[in-house]
Structure 1
């Protein structure tokens, strides 16, 4: 690649980076403004007197850390369980033979086209019938059922593993459960990292399910960010919402930075057959 082409590619990448980061940049700038600057016209792009006081008030105006703990608990429970359940299901679809396996897999994949809002009311009625509202059991059950997209990722990854590994283990007297835990799962770290990041971010950023299933004491930070920062007249305090939102993305960023190498590898290899 010539120098001119390389420079053009870098310029396009930098432009895309600025485009993608601009919403977060505007959010961070808003978090540094006071209420007066938000209401002033014309709009000032940069605050005249930047202050970190909004971050401190965002932590104290609502029990921020308590709701963050609720979100972390739910996201961790779901991400770990759904990763293990999806890995086990993916192993079954990839390495075991059963009548109608392709049909069942096709039906499972077709559920990804089903909008979640369609099952919202039936799901609520089922959990209400079994007295599971205002508990974290719905996320446990959802995790144990696996996720279609994650099952697909594990199935594709396990399909690419050499058959000789499985055959050697069977000769040594291993059953499929032991083969899965001792051979296949330890080798699937790229897909595990991908699954953990995706499932954690799904649950961490979810607003509808916690708002529907949990009361105000046990709800998550996503719900409180949307409803907790208001003044005495009920008007939303946008600068505190922005400050809380900036801190809200930190756990997901930390998780991604820790597992980014495995995440990229898992996305790039799990679609190969």
Structure 2
């Protein structure tokens, strides 16, 4: 007679069960910490926007009462937004900002993509040193070059025009050049070799091979440069006239009482109307921004 021996599954030990429970509790604590951190960050970043929205919907009397007055929702002043639009030619300033931001975004993206492609794929003597110099320019604050830039543009008669933004766009952005360089450097060398074998020059390779693959980074560059130009106050205030200035300058200087003091409720309403376009664009394109931020660090 043959005896069949079967191996019974081992019963979970006390240490194994306890370890699994402790691991599960640890993961739960980590998840709770992450959620708490998200809520705290949301409150910190959302509180200023909520405060300015409550200010835009308040009366001057409620504003004088402080937080208690702002949190009364029985007398919301929606006509503050109407007055913010009708008090100044908001549409004209909006068009100026839209044109200037779009011009800056398109030119900067195009020039940065070309320079980033050259740094990533063209092997030339001194290219690494030149790329280091380009990156070093990011450490120079804009305020340090603002007055010399104004003097230079004033001497050549470009103050009061949009030509400074054209020249800045054609010169590219050091940060965007870095992102494009990192993205293009991660593309396999076989694609470049195949294009060269087919008779493509560098420009055709850039346009037909590399640009179609770089849609996320292009959209990211357009988004960042648009929001930068849209939110810039100091440069338009210094270089442009009252007729062709941007919405940022108009919102700051337009809502004043006869004594020259700012009307806070109208300034808040105008500020919300001012930030909405950039906010909507950012929310719409944020997925491309995240994907390009990940892909830009694949290869150094």
Instruction: Output the TM-score relative to the length of structure 2.
Output: 0.88
Match runs of 1:107-146 below 5 Å: 107-146=133-172
Whether the 8 Å CA contact 2:219–2:288 is kept in 1: the answer is yes
Number of equivalent positions = 273
**Which residue of structure 1 lines up, in the alignment, with residue 44 of structure 2?**
19
Query: Larger C-alpha radius of gyration, 1 or 2?
Result: 2
User: Alpha-carbon deviations, 1:158-178, whole Å to 9, x = none?
Assistant: 000000000000000000001
Which of 199, 222, 234 is the aligned partner of 1:173?
Answer: 199
How far apart in 2 are the matches of 1:194 and 1:67? 25
| Structure 2: distance between partners of 1:228 and 1:87 | 38
The one of 200, 204, 208 equivalent to 2:226 is: 200
Report the CA distance shift for 1:56/1:160 in structure 2 as closer, same or farther (over 3 A): same
| Counterparts of 1:228 and 1:11, CA distance in 2 | 41
Partner of 1:8: 33
Task: Give the whole-Å Cα distance in 2 for the aligned partners of 1:196 and 1:113.
Answer: 22
Counterpart Cα distance in 2 of 1:101 and 1:61: 54
Distance in 2 (alpha carbons) for counterparts of 1:131 and 1:12: 52
Aligned to 1:99: 125
Structure 1 counterpart of 2:288: 262
Shift of 1:37: 1.4
Which runs of 5 or more structure 2 residues have no equivalent in the other structure? 1-23
Residue by residue over 1:65-98, the C-alpha shift from the partner in whole angstroms, topping out at 9 and shown as x without a partner, is 1101101100000000000100000000000011
Q: 1:174 to 1:228 in 2, by over 3 A?
A: same
- The match for 1:70 is 96
Q: CA RMSD in A?
A: 1.4
**C-alpha separation in 2, matches of 1:205 and 1:84:** 21
TM-score, length-scaled by structure 1: 0.96
**2:262 equivalent among 221, 233, 236:** 236
Q: Which residue of 1 aligns with 2:4?
A: none
Give the Cα separation in 2 of the matches to 1:166 and 1:122.
42
Q: Distance in 1 between matches of 2:123 and 2:156?
A: 35
Higher relative contact order (CA 8 A, sep 6+): 1
Match of 2:71 in 1: 46
Change (3 A) 1:42 1:165: closer
- With over 3 angstroms needed to count, the CA separation of the structure-2 counterparts of 1:42 and 1:139, relative to structure 1, is closer
Match of 1:187 in 2: 213
CA distance in 1, matches of 2:103, 2:119: 24
Out of 30, 49, 61, which is 1:36 matched to? 61
Q: Which runs of 5+ in 1 are unaligned?
A: none
